[in-house]
Amino acid sequence: MELRHLRYFRAVAEELHFGRAARRLHIAQPPLSQQIRQLEDELGVALLTRSTRRVELTPAGADYLAHTVAILDAVDAAGHHAQQVAEGRTGRLSIGCVGSATYSVLPAFVRALRDRIPDVEVRIRGEMLAPAQLAALRSGDIDIGLLRMSGEEPDLRVEPIRTDHLILALPDGHPAAATGSVDLHNLRDEDFIAHAGGGRSVMNTVLMTLCSVAGFTPRIRHEVEETSTLATLVAAGLGVALVPEPTAAIGITGVTYRPLSTPTSGIELHAARRIDDAASPMIDRALEVLREIASAPYEPARK
Amino acid sequence: MELRHLRYFRAVAEELHFGRAARRLHIAQPPLSQQIRQLEDELGVALLTRSTRRVELTPAGADYLAHTVAILDAVDAAGHHAQQVAEGRTGRLSIGCVGSATYSVLPAFVRALRDRIPDVEVRIRGEMLAPAQLAALRSGDIDIGLLRMSGEEPDLRVEPIRTDHLILALPDGHPAAATGSVDLHNLRDEDFIAHAGGGRSVMNTVLMTLCSVAGFTPRIRHEVEETSTLATLVAAGLGVALVPEPTAAIGITGVTYRPLSTPTSGIELHAARRIDDAASPMIDRALEVLREIASAPYEPARK
DNA sequence: TAAAAATACTCCATAGGTATTTTAT
DNA sequence: ATAAAATACCTATGGAGTATTTTTA
């Protein structure tokens, strides 16, 4: 069976006249009769009752007509939808994001996506550590990763999205929070809260480097998977933490954020994608949107 | 575009290998490549990225594959469904029914239909007067009419289904209800409640005839559209009524039913259908079911 | 008897086959 | 070097056209 049979049957069923249907289809009447006969033979069902004076649908024919129309429409719709996907106007997009951007850059990104690409279907996986994102990118679990990284990844395309200042997260009432900015050296005897993964986390590397410059090695008492947990532990007074500025978007009371007295070069947020996904215009368009909105400096939520 | 293109695309998309897909389709590889190319050209969308070593779906191709599978399945399902309809195993059936059978024969019929033809989709229109049913049959609004009629209807096929005894509906405590059966003559001074439509209703004709034999002309004070209303009026003491026995299935308190002391030939319930619906096996099957169950004498619901 | 569907046949467009080339790893 | 897709070209199936017959209202 071919779509031709369905198109022809639809025409005859709607016209209830082989001659008119043939004219509508721009073919002669005999081949139309033949094709309809073929269709009926293949289905083993009489779809039409014909006499020379009247053509009518059988109950089975009426049923088949409804399905036929639905199928022909679905064929058209499938083509149009595929074109939309090819143009990146619709599709599914899975985004992974590190904790420090989950509550600031990520929501802004998703909001902008919905504005600019209304038919995108976004799936979000926030609070993903960088190594998990790399694995998820390779397995196809996510299409775009928002992470902080240093090394090279040959099968991924990584680009810097924005640079974030580093700030300190202190428990409310901490002596160092009394001043406008904090000298890292004053925290040499504090407990530090760090991310899991040790040296594989860029934030940990930066922390070690900065403390080393300040003349001490930070004592790391707690390691956390999620940045939100980190904020909770700081609020509980279990230690202090060095975090990228957007982390402050986590609305947990009991935490005071203070800049460092010594300016640093900050830490970069990167967007990563599979290098062989070049044929995915949705990812291209999404990254364009990300570049536009992510360069804006982090702005704390107004109350 | 033809289903061939979809079948071929599905094979290639699932095998991700033109050679294997061609073998699976029992054709050679070059024509397969050609057909896929045709499909892509017609859609204006690249569905696959090919190199000599790897064939992959583009995002648009993955999208199109999902739709393709759905369409091909729908084509199969449509054929099977039409076969089911042709065998009368599934389909929609609209049944009209007069008031006196609405609460006894009709529910038994529908119950039997569900047992015997599980996939039938029944639409019921109860409490339809006979003329309305004839019109609804002709307009296609109902497929089967359960009604009481006398004349001939050339474009309908009518068959007797069952004969019902005639009984009297009296208000509780009515003097005539004191005895086991009632002589119609004793009701010569009562108000009668009749169906609307006058002589066009067979029940009215029967009423006039029986009363005439009993030597009087009934005084008709109220005419009703629904048999349920008739029962309500009797219960309210507004009059008495002659009804077919199944009417007693209407569970309205305040009404006592009594047989006539003089046996009558009763009144027949007919099933009517369009004569040109011979090609509808669902109607055939449904009527077979009706014949089986409807011949059983009316049996009041046990409490 | 006239309008319309079915049949008979003819033709050619194109799906599919064979042989070969191209390409990417 | 080799496996696999693309290209070139040929073949033949079957879809569509023309002429005619059959059917029924």
Q: Is B300 within a domain? A: no
Closest chain B residue to A79, measured at CA? B43
Whether residue B49 is found in the same domain as residue B172: no
Q: pLDDT band for position B303 (50/70/90)?
A: very low
Mark the nucleotides of strand C covered by protein, meaning any atom under 7 Å from a CB.
2-9, 15-19, 22-25
Whether residue B150 is found in the same domain as residue B27: no
Length reported for chain B: 303
Please answer whether residues A216 and A185 qualify as being in contact, where contact means their C-beta atoms are separated by less than 8 angstroms. Answer: yes
Q: Tell me which of A86, A102, A128 is where a domain ends.
A: A86
CATH number at residue B118: 3.40.190.10
- Cβ distance A79 to B43 less than 8 Å, yes or no, reads yes
Q: Tell me which of A86, A118, A133 is where a domain ends.
A: A86
Whether residue B157 is found in the same domain as residue B125: yes
Q: Which residues contact B156 (CB under 8 A, 6 or more apart)?
A: B134, B137, B138, B272, B273, B274, B275
Q: Tell me which of A59, A86, A113 is where a domain ends.
A: A86
Whether residue B48 is found in the same domain as residue B177: no
Whether residue B260 is found in the same domain as residue B277: no
pLDDT digits (tens, 9 = 90+) for B100-117: 999 889 999 999 999 999
- Cβ distance B63 to A74 less than 8 Å, yes or no, reads no
Whether residue B251 is found in the same domain as residue B111: no
Q: Any atom of strand C under 7 A from CB of A17?
A: yes
Q: Is A301 within a domain? A: no
Nucleotide in closest CA–C1' contact with A26: D16
- Cβ distance A85 to B60 less than 8 Å, yes or no, reads yes
Q: Residue B302 has what pLDDT?
A: 44
Q: Residue B14 has what pLDDT?
A: 92
Q: Residue A302 has what pLDDT?
A: 44
Task: Name the residue among B13, B4, B26 with its Cα closest to residue B72.
Answer: B4
Q: Residue B254 has what pLDDT?
A: 92
Q: Would you call A62 helix, strand, or coil by DSSP?
A: helix
Please determine, for residue B65, whether its predicted confidence score (pLDDT) is greater than 90: yes
Q: Is B302 within a domain? A: no
Q: Is B301 within a domain? A: no
Q: Is A52 within a domain? A: yes
Q: Residue B143 has what pLDDT?
A: 92
Q: Is A96 within a domain? A: yes
Q: Is B303 within a domain? A: no
Q: Which domain holds residue A40?
A: 3-86
Across the interface, of A4, A75, A86, the residue whose CB is closest to B60 is A86
Please determine, for residue B3, whether its predicted confidence score (pLDDT) is greater than 90: yes
- Cβ distance B78 to A71 less than 8 Å, yes or no, reads yes
Whether residue B193 is found in the same domain as residue B152: no
Whether residue A143 is found in the same domain as residue A112: yes
Q: What angle do CA A75, A81, A86 make, to 5 degrees?
A: 130
Whether residue B272 is found in the same domain as residue B136: yes
Whether residue A79 is found in the same domain as residue A17: yes
Q: Give contacts of A70 with chain B, Cβ < 8 Å.
A: 74
* pTM recorded for the entire structure: 0.78
Closest chain A residue to B40, measured at CA? A79
Question: Considering chain B, what is the average pLDDT of its residues?
Answer: 91
Whether residue A76 is found in the same domain as residue A112: no
Q: Residue A53 has what pLDDT?
A: 81
Q: Is A198 within a domain? A: yes
Q: Which residues contact B168 (CB under 8 A, 6 or more apart)?
A: B176, B182, B184, B187, B240, B241, B242, B243, B257, B258, B259, B260
CATH number at residue A10: 1.10.10.10
Whether residue B257 is found in the same domain as residue B272: no
- Sign of the alpha-carbon dihedral angle for A46, A47, A49, A52: negative
Q: List per-residue pLDDT tens for chain A, 303 residues long.
A: 999 999 999 999 999 999 999 999 999 999 999 999 999 988 999 999 988 788 889 899 999 999 999 999 999 999 999 999 999 899 889 999 999 999 889 999 999 999 999 999 999 999 999 999 999 998 888 999 999 998 888 889 999 999 999 999 999 989 988 888 999 999 999 999 999 988 889 999 999 999 999 999 999 999 999 999 999 999 999 999 999 999 999 888 999 999 999 889 999 999 999 887 766 889 999 999 999 998 766 565 543
The crossing angle, in degrees rounded to 10, of helices B29-43 and B18-25 is: 100
Mark the nucleotides of strand D covered by protein, meaning any atom under 7 Å from a CB.
3-9, 15-19, 22-25
Q: Residue B26 has what pLDDT?
A: 92
pLDDT digits (tens, 9 = 90+) for B167-226: 999 999 899 888 889 999 999 999 999 999 888 899 999 999 999 999 999 999 999 999
Q: Which residues contact B51 (CB under 8 A, 6 or more apart)?
A: none
Residues by CB within 7 Å of nucleic chain D, which ones? A 2, 4, 26-31, 34-35, 38, 51-54; B 17-19, 29-30, 33-34, 36-37, 50, 52-53, 55
Q: Residue B51 has what pLDDT?
A: 83
Q: Which residues contact A190 (CB under 8 A, 6 or more apart)?
A: A218, A219, A239, A240
Q: What domain count does chain A have?
A: 3
Q: Which residues contact A169 (CB under 8 A, 6 or more apart)?
A: A230, A231, A234, A240, A241, A242, A243, A247, A248, A255, A256, A257
